[in-house]
Amino acid sequence: MTETERLKEVGRRAGALVVGVAAADAFNTYVPEGHRPQDILPGARSVVVAGSMGPTAGAWQCPDHRVMEITGYDFRENVAIHVMCDFIEREYGYRALQAPSLPTSGHTPPMSMMLAAVLAGLGTRSLAANIVLHPEYGMLYYAALLTTMPLVPDHPLEKDVCPSPPCVQMYRKLGTTPCLAACPAAAGGCLDGAIDADGRIAYSYYDRERCTARAMTFGISGLQKALVQILTEDDAEKRRAMIYSDFFTQSLSALSFYKESVAQCFECMRVCPVGRTYRKLR
């Protein structure tokens, strides 16, 4: 086993479903200064990306969609990244740190996990909110680490995962795909797109602000909205009811555990055929 293969195996044993490697330099073509691996870890040479399933197959099948809010995010990819960081530093003596992926301003994180996943050959962007689809598993959650260790990089996939063949067929007949039909921008949703004669994405549109308001109703955004309403409510009884409401309680719970707050809408992915095999068990 090479050092790169050994490291990937450590990540998989720690809970990652897939692990890929990108060269740190590969980001320079796509991102501005300040967001490149070397800006975050001076001397960074490699980026290791771990992906894991979010919601389990069972969670996808639950008829109450709200269950997805509390069962979908268990951070296995983050655990795998921490374990691989420790392994690199203790076993090989190179520096490693988890890539910062939560926004520090607006919705922009210091580093894009989507780009990291694409450059590490784990998937390609889709018509559904640009979500990166793995060719076998479909939607995965991604985390990454930066390291000064030289590793053998993977390469971006040569074939686009989206649109999948059944989606191309549907588009030819109906002018839409499952995800676009689930959330059409023209009818108050967030998505629009077109597929060209070669069956590739010709155009895609994603209204991120609208999606955030629809998909992330609990968590940071929900709490901020609720606080403004509570603080500007003059009626003491109403204020009390708002504070003890299910909504406010769930918003606090989401923040406390940072588990329920990730997303409350998976509809564009629920209908996506990529990875469906793994969401339909017995």
Question: Minimum distance from CB of 107 to ligand SF4 (Å)?
Answer: 13
Distance CA 38, CA 147 (A): 9
CA-CA distances (angstroms) from residue 25 to 35, 36, 47, 53, 231?
12, 8, 9, 28, 48
**What are the DSSP E strand ranges found in the chain?**
18-23, 46-52, 96-98, 124-125, 132-134, 138-139, 141-147, 191-195, 201-206
Choose the binding region for ligand SF4 from 5-13, 101-109, 123-131, 221-229 (rule: CB under 6 A): 123-131
CB 95 within 8 A of CB 147: yes
Q: 3-state DSSP: the chain helix, strand, coil percent, rounded to 5? A: 45, 15, 40
- Residue 178 in the binding site for ligand SF4 (CB under 6 A): yes
Choose the binding region for ligand SF4 from 8-16, 53-61, 63-71, 171-179 (rule: CB under 6 A): 171-179
SS3 of residue 206 by DSSP: strand
Among 147, 164, 176, 250, binds ligand SF4 (CB under 6 A): 164
Which string of x and - marks every residue 193-232 that binds ligand SF4 (by CB under 6 A)?
------------------x--xx-----------------
- Residues numbered 45 to 84 that lie near ligand SF4 (CB under 6 A) are none
- Residue 167 in the binding site for ligand SF4 (CB under 6 A): yes
The residues that touch ligand SF4, with contacts defined as CB under 6 A, are 126-129, 162-164, 167, 177-179, 182-183, 189-191, 211, 214-215, 265, 267-268, 271-272, 274
